[in-house]
Amino acid sequence: MSEFIIVWMLGVIFVGLPVMMAYGIYKSIKKTGTVKTSLKSNYAKVVFLDRKLSMLNNKIFIN
């Protein structure tokens, strides 16, 4: 019984994550029309958050 649970969890991890990623890309394609714009906007969000965090760190270290 425990082996079944482990196999099921691995299946959820290896099947579920790519499916969710593909679904996210599919939704962005339906909304924007292309993959590139959605990837660019996600990258821009990450860079923006990274800059905000580094600014906060600089303020903390200066003070």
Q: What is the per-residue pLDDT across 25-35, written as a single tens digit (0 to 9) for each?
A: 777 667 665 55
- CA 17 from chain center: how many Å? 10
Whether pTM > 0.75 for this model: the answer is no
Whole-number Å distance between alpha carbons of 61 and 63: 5
Q: Map tokens 């860079």 to a residue.
A: 47
Closest by Cα among 50, 49, 48, 25 to 38: 25
Delimit the domains of the chain by residue range: 2-62
Q: What's residue 17's pLDDT?
A: 73
Give mean pLDDT in consecutive 10-residue pieces for the chain, a chain of 63 residues: 79 76 74 60 68 68 56
